[in-house]
Amino acid sequence: MRIGDLAKATGVDIETIRYYEKAGLLPEPGREANGYRAYQQAHLERLAFIRHCRALDMPLESIRRLLDFVAHPEAECGDINRLIDEQLARVQARLNSLRALESQLAALRAQCGENHSARECGILHELVAAAHGEACACHFDAKSGSHYLLMGKQKNRP
């Protein structure tokens, strides 16, 4: 099986496959006489395993650790549990912050109904005011009331 076949079979980009090899997740396959990579069934399974874990949003390092367990089945599996727990904790933390984000954005979006000029756009006002509030809170001796957000032209745009 050549790299293109493996890519088609798993739906993984060719470059990504080579990247996993470089990263030490997928073992170097044999080569055909012309230097092309020659994969076997085991590579397909292994790649599918990696992608399944990635779909669970695990970092490559965790996957590496899991693959170590596959290679050493006599080891204790406590670390596997811990690994999954960590991953679960990461996901839940991200979920919480995204939920908060969603409601903030939804509230923001509700500030502006139809098209009008940016000057009177509720969203923009809200953002500027919120930022202003935070700047005062965090704190600095702001002259009260006025907003200083507007500055000269940006010259250093890339």
Partner DNA sequence: CTTGACCCCGGAGCGGCTCCAGGGTTTCCA
Partner DNA sequence: TGGAAACCCTGGAGCCGCTCCGGGGTCAAG
Phi-psi region for residue 153, left (φ > 0), alpha (ψ -120 to 50) or beta? beta
Q: Residue 36 or 129: which CB sits closer to a second copy? A: 129
Report d(CA 51, CA 6) in Å as an integer: 13
CB 118, min distance to a second copy, A: 4
45 binds a second copy per the rule CB under 8 A? yes
Residues lying near DNA in the complex (CB under 7 A):
2-5, 7, 13-16, 18-19, 33-37, 54, 59-61
Residue 18 in contact with a second copy, rule: CB under 8 A = no
Give the count of residues interacting with a second copy (CB under 8 A): 91
16 binds, among a second copy, DNA, none (CB under 5 to 8 A by kind): DNA
Chain-centroid distance, C-alpha 25: 19
Residue 27, classed as helix, strand or coil, is: coil
- Please give the structure tokens belonging to residue 137: 């809170």
Burial class (CB in 10 A: 0-12, 13-18, 19+), 87: middle
Taking CB under 8 A as the criterion, the residue among 33, 98, 144, 145 binding a second copy is 98
- Does position 48 bind a second copy by CB under 8 A? yes
Contact 89, 68 (CB under 8 A): no
Q: Which of 15, 22, 31, 32 binds a second copy (CB under 8 A)?
A: 22
